[in-house]
Structure 1
Amino acid sequence: MALFNKMLASIGIGTAKVDTRLDSDRYLPGQTVQGKVEIRGGSVEQKIEEIYLTLHTTYIKEQDDKKYTQTAALEKLRLNDPFTIAPGELRTMPFSLVLPNDTPLTYGRTKVWISTGLEIKNAVDPSDEDFIQILPGPIVHAALLALTDLGFKLRQAECEAVSYKLNHHRPFIQEFEFIPVTGPYHGKLDELEISFLSVSEERAEILLEVDRKAKGLAGLFAEAMEMDETMVRAFITKQDIPQMREKLNQIISRYI
């Protein structure tokens, strides 16, 4: 019977189970996720080589005019040295995982989750997934709010593969696409995209793509040649928060 149980465990039947319990499911980038991992032994004794937590998100990559969804690992945490778990035994391991400052916000179709995996020799490795909400920190929140104050409406938020020209440390950036519905840019811009290339408690580097509305034949030609779009890199700081609307307005207005 023991041999039969080992055979079943090797194909994932009666093997150890893992369940991750988070203290919360809402965080800001840079905060620490705390919780515990519960491992329940299966029908046979098994050696757990490694327990690891991985922070994931997805992004869109375009190739040959087709779009593909890719998964990116943002952070990985190893929890243990190898140990043996007895049949039916329950072990609990607390953990703390610091979210990177550039963890994408869970706006639009953007998902962020923590996967927990066990590496078990000669067996199917069990896993668990826990989705979390990522909310904006003070600087990012102020910037997004300032754009709505300027009459823009968020149309889409998505992580997309990044151009090598940006020399970015991730394979993607998160883009927030706004359209002007009221205010000073209504009728002047088709859309405005903002990305946060780096974020800390004190400042953020932003990338703005200003897409001007076509006017006349010259404007239509510029739009066809994609000459109506301007890429702008700038910094915003914690000190800018009280006047963020004015700060972004000064930057955008130079390129219409």
Structure 2
Amino acid sequence: MSFFNKVLASVGIGAATVDTKLEKDRVFPGEEIKGVVEIRGGNVEQQIDDIYLSVNTQYSKESDDKKYYVTAAIERIRLASGFTVTAKETREIPFSFRLPLETPVSMGKAKVWVATGLDIKNAVDPSDKDYLNVKPSALLDGVLNSITSLGFRLREVECEQAPYHLRGKAPFVQEFEFVPTSGVFRGRLDELELVFLPTSNNTADLYFQVDRKARGLGGFLAEALEMDETNVRLSVSTGDLATLPQSLRSLLQKYS
């Protein structure tokens, strides 16, 4: 390669491109994801230092009473490193990986995507982004249905920075916010917030924040001081789904 072509390659002119082809984009946490990364050479030969996949989402953080969003990599996979793509060459690299259990589901504001990148020294990183439609697991779906069967409506779903006591592999948690619209908890609770943390394919820890309705002067003072909120933890499995609505009803009645 001439010096002029080396300069062209280093600044990304006539550079390689990357395209990821997923077998399917409708997936479940814990499921195996398969596909092929296609690399097309540009007008000049290029040295590729790394090719990688990352599963990403965004979550909200607060600082100085301001809310902003940051991107988090849930998983990162190196596919290959240290190879050359010649001009006009097409190369395919198959891949498979298991979607992490802590991947948020595609509900509300939550979005999940696979980013594919080529690490080329001194060049702009050519990248590709493919969105995933992450569906709830059978256990999460059962939990959400159990809550709605008690008269709650799902109002908002968002990924937020994880509090210290809930921080695991990921720096965020996905929060499901419900409001009671009918049933025994209407007028007794303001809202119910849920964080679902899977511990295996068939088990999870549920963390609830129960926000009681203010009643009388004492209730309004408690609400002003945020003393009307109670945090509750419950471990569940797929074997509990048949009786989960009754269990949740009894649990919430203790704090409403």
Q: Alpha-carbon deviation of 1:11?
A: 1.9
Instruction: Give the Å deviation of 1:248.
Output: 1.5
1:197-233 per-residue CA deviation (whole Å, 9 max, x = no partner) reads 2342221101000000001101101100101100001
Q: Distance in 1 between matches of 2:202 and 2:131?
A: 28
Sort the Cα spacing of 1:34 and 1:139 in 2 relative to 1 into closer, same or farther, 3 A: same
Please state if 1:40 is matched with 2:51: no
| Secondary structure of 1:247's aligned partner | helix
- Tell me the residue number matched to 1:107: 107
Aligned pairs for 1:48-127 (under 5 A) are 48-127=48-127
Alignment partners' CA distance in 2, 1:111 and 1:91: 29
Inter-partner Cα distance in structure 1 for 2:148 and 2:123: 52
Deviation at 1:167, TM superposition (A): 4.4
TM-score normalised by length of structure 2: 0.96
Deviation at 1:254, TM superposition (A): 1.3
Residues 59 and 160 of structure 2 are in contact (CA less than 8 Å); yes or no, is this contact kept in structure 1?
A: yes
Output the CA distance in 1 between the equivalents of 2:168 and 2:47: 40
Tell whether the 8 Å contact from 1:176 to 1:193 is kept in structure 2 after alignment: yes
Per the alignment, in what secondary structure is the counterpart of residue 218 of structure 2? helix
Task: Quote the RMSD (CA, aligned, Å).
Answer: 1.4
Aligned counterparts, 1:158-177, within 5 A: 158-177=158-177
TM-score normalised according to structure 1 size = 0.96
Within the alignment, does 1:229 sit opposite 2:250 as a pair?
A: no
Structure 1 residue runs without a partner (length 5+): none
Residue of structure 1 in register with 2:245 after alignment: 245
Task: Provide the C-alpha distance between the structure 2 equivalents of 1:166 and 1:24, rounded to a whole number of angstroms.
Answer: 31
* 1:153 maps onto 2:169 in alignment: no
The 2-side partners of 1:2 and 1:15 are apart by 15
Deviation digits for residues 29-69 of structure 1 (CA, Å, limit 9, x no counterpart): 00011110000011111111111000101100001100010
Q: Which amino acid aligns with 2:188?
A: K
Sequence identity (%): 50
Extract unaligned runs of 5+ from structure 2: none
Match of 2:130 in 1: 130
Letter in 2 for 1:131: Y
Judge which range, 181-190 or 236-245, deviates more.
236-245
1:2 Cα deviation after fit: 4.6
CA contact (8 A) 2:9 2:45 kept: no
